[in-house]
Amino acid sequence: MSHHPPLELVSHTADLSKINASVIWLHGLGADGYDFEPIVQQLLQSHRLPNVRFILPHAPEMAVTRNNGYIMPAWYDVYGITPVNKEDEAGIQASQRYINELIENEIKRGIPSERIVLAGFSQGGAIALHTALRYPQKLAGVLALSTYLPLHVKLATEADLANINTPIFMAHGIFDDVISLEMSQISRDLLQNRQYLVTWREYKMAHSVCAEEIADIQHFLQQVLQ
């Protein structure tokens, strides 16, 4: 499966020799890496994340069953109205391998794994959660926005203890009609019952991102990358 090279963003005032952390941020179904570029630019312009590199990958194009087989950027196939009724395990694992490669690439560039955050919105958030909990080295944190935990029945046997104490920020809109608030809450409860450190936020929004959430994201990134 082919991937276009990811978009990379740093502060325009950054000294590239001083970059010491990376955030790999995955977009949602049907979007691309440019989808979150304005929000990342907003975070960078705050000057509170001066030495952070943001990596915004692009999902490969594939036929999405739920959307009548229409070909679009997707991290995995979606079959029904509720994503967890039937899951594309092979597609999820293929995206996991690709994100692992992006992590390894950052490590080769001199960023320790514990200075790397996985972030994602919707389908991208599902891959961020899935990948981080299975990654064999400690990561800095996970941003899981308007999303859920895929393949959760396999977590008990596949999770790596390296990230049992990795902070997870989960956020959801109370009016979300794409991935329901309840579905995300079930994922949150599953993680908390397995002793993961989940910070939970709800916002008065639909399947989107709001200003209050962006401020909370900035605060979380400052905390885990301070």
| Nearest 10 degrees: Cα torsion 146, 150, 153, 158 | -110
Supply the pLDDT for residue 65: 93
Supply the pLDDT for residue 83: 63
Q: For the residues 142-159, what does the mean pLDDT come to? A: 95
Q: Where are the beta strands (DSSP E) in 43-197?
A: 52-56, 61-64, 70-73, 116-121, 141-145, 168-173
pLDDT tens-place string over residues 111-148: 999 999 999 999 999 999 999 999 999 999 999 999 99
Supply the pLDDT for residue 16: 86
Q: How many domains is the chain built from?
A: 1
Q: Could you tell me if residue 219 is inside a domain?
A: yes
pTM of the model: 0.96
pLDDT tens-place string over residues 94-114: 999 999 999 999 999 999 999
Best CA proximity match to 47, nearest among 11, 2, 76, 89: 11
- Hunting for tokens 């961020």 — which residue is that? 128
Residue 170 pLDDT > 80, yes or no?
yes
* Spatial CB neighbours of 203, under 8 Å, sequence gap ≥ 6: 171, 172, 173, 174, 210, 212, 213
With beta carbons less than 8 A apart as the criterion, state whether 196 and 156 touch: no
pLDDT tens-place string over residues 30-74: 999 999 999 999 999 988 898 999 999 999 999 999 889 999 999
Q: For the residues 172-179, what does the mean pLDDT come to? A: 96
CATH number for the domain spanning 190: value is 3.40.50.1820
Q: Which residues are catalytic?
A: 122, 176, 207
Residue 155 pLDDT > 90, yes or no?
yes
Residue 28 pLDDT > 70, yes or no?
yes
The boundaries of the domain holding residue 132 are: 7-225
Higher pLDDT, 53 or 3: 53
Q: Could you tell me if residue 102 is inside a domain?
A: yes
Q: Residue 207 burial (CB < 10 Å; 0-12/13-18/19+)?
A: middle
Best CA proximity match to 69, nearest among 59, 83, 60, 79: 79
Supply the pLDDT for residue 74: 97
Supply the pLDDT for residue 119: 98
Q: Could you tell me if residue 18 is inside a domain?
A: yes
pLDDT tens-place string over residues 80-96: 776 667 899 999 999 99
Q: For the residues 210-219, what does the mean pLDDT come to? A: 97
Q: Could you tell me if residue 2 is inside a domain?
A: no
